[in-house]
Chains A and B, each alone.
Chain A
Amino acid sequence: MTEPLIYTSRGNVPVSSLEHYIKWDVTAEFVKFTELYKCKRTGEVVREDCHVRALKVPEIGAAQAAMA
């Protein structure tokens, strides 16, 4: 059976040689999901992915007409 590999800064490495971490950041403006893979032996971050979902961004306010 072939061992699952993942692409990292060290090339393709076995997933089993890495520690996997996830992090969620939730604000009123966005939700962010981050995945980290660290080498078990050295602690080096060899892969980091991030996905952001925008929820609410600034809008352009209503214009006020003025006629002198």
Chain B
Amino acid sequence: MANAQSVCTSFKQELLQGLHAFGTSVVRAGTTADTFKAALYVTTASLGAATTAYSATGEVSGTNYTAGGVTVTNGNAPATGGTTAYWTPSASFSWSTVTLSTAFDTVLLYNSTQSNRAVAVFTFGSQTVTSGNFSLTMPTNDQANALIRIA
């Protein structure tokens, strides 16, 4: 079954429950911002809107790839533009000198502080990497293009 690019339905609900804290400061009882991570998945992993949390099932594996993915650089505070709230990681996701021989096409953004709860699934077309670098550059951080936008 193929992967489907989508913002996870459970994440939308958990936003309303105050479970995810993006940004450099936190407006809630806790004072530490959550840590988010990005993990890569093979083309047959079946991730999508129904994904609720990170799982090693379907995740890529290979030389210099660490299970669980990379930590997201979180230097942007959530902002608003018009009626849209938005947020984007402040740096690209990157993996250096990796070999991922099984085709992959998906990155899962998840909250490793909050029980690895899923945030969103992004797809980018089937790919392999051989002894090379793989990077995902973020879109422009504005109300029209940010990685996470709540209209």
Chain A interface residues toward B at CB < 8 A: 7-9, 25, 27, 29-30, 32, 34-35, 45-62
Contacts and interface: CB of A to CB of B under 8 A. Distances in A.
Given A48-B128, A48-B129, A57 B122 contact: yes
Contacts of A25: 125
- Which 9 interchain pairs have the tightest Cβ spacing? A49-B132, A59-B149, A48-B130, A60-B150, A53-B137, A9-B131, A54-B139, A52-B124, A62-B151
Interface stretch (B4-12, B18-26, B50-58, B67-75): B4-12
B18 to A, nearest CB: 15
Nearest to A27: B125
A59 B133 contact: no
Contact of B145 (A7, A32, A49, A56): A56
A29 B4 CA distance: 13
Which of A8, A35, A53, A58 has the most C-beta atoms of chain B within 10 angstroms of its own C-beta?
A58
Contacts of B120: 57-58
Interface residues of B, number: 33
Contacts of A46: 130-131
B99 interface: yes
A55 B142 CA distance: 12
A45 B130 contact: yes
A51 B134 CA distance: 6
A54 B124 contact: yes
Contacts of B131: 7-9, 46-48
B5 A29 contact: yes
B88 to A, nearest CB: 9
A63 B46 CA distance: 27
A59 B129 CA distance: 29
B130 A52 contact: no
Given A49-B133, A50-B134, A54-B122, A32 B5 contact: no
Given A54-B136, A54-B138, A56-B145, 4 more contacts: A30-B124, A49-B133, A50-B134, A53-B137
B102 interface: no
Nearest to A62: B151
